[in-house]
């Protein structure tokens, strides 16, 4: 009998295999990449190893549990590989969810093979947590027809400005808030589209995009005009638990490092683990990490089963797991002392990586707002 939300033997074996792949195949490619730039050999390897195909199966829907296990397992061994996979998924899932047969045929084989890099372009200088406050304008094409011209700016966009295709959210009507937003599929080489890189704390590729009358037509709309905000929120409902899974992977890596250090480091006449202050800290780290993992697995299982309340469950999983990972990584750094702050140390790397997930795809404060609203729905 399998305990609810515990992984079965097949899932555990798959996760072990993923960790081995990450350690033996992907870590070297990640190390060879340039921080802040898209690592195309790494993305290609994710395609060649079939990991992107597992994320986007040829038959059937995207499986939230598979996505979470992929992200957690890769994060424990190679956060760069985890992030490359996650960004492919985030950028391309709207095509799977809402794209036409032509759009899917054009882009999904290339994305799944790791030959095309995808990106999700929602945030703007004045529209971060308040995603409905978008200002990127889609004006009717002055030459006539059924097209638009995109004018404005996006910022904090992962994989920008190097992606091959962007899911872009723009305002096509005068309706206020979320009702006037449309999702478009925009190739990276479109006329009038430019961008620049941003130098961030974590080594992810992040940048801005500038739209100077970028042409898009009816065939570039994802879903229906005016329905773009729903496309974005359905994407985030799927990916928020998996952000939690990424966080759990980092927490597990930090916890393992702390446990090993506590058993090996000699101080005050014995190993650190024999000090009650240290052993109790390790126990707290382990308990919170396990609780976060269970919350992530529960949200993913609920999503795959089509259960109600997905928005709240996704928000809870992301909120608790990312806050937990911040705590666990920080505690592991404290236990290691100065050595953990040295450039190149695992915990130095995780310390820089762990901060961003509490902000992107809805900051912790936004997740609490979602949960509170769902309580009264």
Kindly list the catalytic residues. Answer: 361
CA dihedral sign, ordered 209, 94, 350, 40: negative
Of 252, 284, 278, give the one whose Cα is nearest residue 265: 278
Of 54, 58, 43, give the one whose Cα is nearest residue 18: 54
Neighbours of 141 (CB within 10 A): 15
H helices present in the chain, as ranges: 9-21, 27-32, 40-48, 51-55, 64-77, 79-98, 101-113, 228-264, 276-305, 310-336, 346-353, 364-375
Q: How many CA atoms lie within 13 A of 43 on its CB side?
A: 25
Q: How many CA atoms lie within 13 A of 216 on its CB side?
A: 31
Radius of gyration of the chain (CA): 21
Q: Is 344 left (phi over 0), alpha (psi -120 to 50) or beta?
A: left
Cis peptide before 161 (omega within 30 of 0): yes
Of 62, 115, 59, 128, give the one whose Cα is nearest residue 89: 62
CA 63 – CA 57 distance, rounded (Å) = 9
């Amino acid at each position: 009998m399998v305990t609810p939300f515990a992984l079965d033997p097949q899932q555990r074996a798959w996760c072990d295999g993923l960790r081995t792949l990450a350690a033996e195949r992907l870590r070297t490619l990640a190390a060879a990449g340039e921080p802040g730039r898209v690592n195309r050999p790494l993305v290609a390897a994710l395609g060649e190893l079939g990991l992107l195909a597992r994320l986007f199966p040829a038959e059937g829907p995207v499986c939230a549990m598979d996505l979470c296990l992929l992200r957690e397992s890769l994060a424990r061994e190679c956060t760069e590989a985890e992030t490359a996979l996650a960004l492919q998924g985030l950028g391309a899932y709207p095509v799977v969810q809402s794209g036409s047969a032509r759009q899917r045929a054009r882009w999904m084989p290339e994305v799944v093979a790791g030959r095309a890099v995808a990106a999700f372009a929602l945030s703007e200088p004045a529209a971060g947590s308040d995603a409905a406050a978008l200002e990127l304008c889609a004006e009717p094409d002055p030459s006539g027809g059924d097209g638009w011209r995109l004018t404005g700016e996006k910022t904090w966009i992962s994989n920008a400005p190097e992606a091959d295709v962007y899911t872009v959210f723009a305002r096509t009507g005068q309706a206020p808030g979320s009702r006037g937003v449309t999702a478009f599929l925009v190739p990276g080489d479109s006329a009038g589209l430019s961008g620049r890189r941003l130098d961030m704390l974590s080594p992810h590729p992040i940048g801005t995009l500038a739209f100077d009358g970028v042409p898009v037509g009816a065939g570039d709309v994802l879903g229906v005009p005016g329905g773009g905000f729903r496309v974005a929120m359905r994407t985030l409902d799927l990916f928020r638990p998996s952000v939690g899974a990424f966080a759990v992977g980092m927490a597990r890596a930090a916890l393992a490092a702390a446990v090993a250090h506590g058993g090996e480091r000699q101080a005050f006449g014995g190993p650190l683990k024999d000090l009650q202050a240290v052993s109790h800290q390790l126990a707290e780290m382990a308990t919170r990490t396990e609780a976060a993992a269970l919350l992530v697995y529960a949200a993913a299982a609920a999503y795959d089963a089509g259960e109600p309340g997905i928005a709240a469950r996704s928000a809870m999983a992301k909120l608790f797991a990312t806050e937990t990972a911040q705590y666990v990584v920080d505690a592991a750094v404290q236990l290691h002392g100065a050595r953990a702050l040295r450039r190149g140390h695992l915990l130095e790397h995780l310390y820089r990586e762990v901060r961003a997930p509490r902000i992107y795809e809805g900051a912790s404060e936004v997740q609490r707002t979602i949960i509170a609203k769902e309580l009264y729905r």
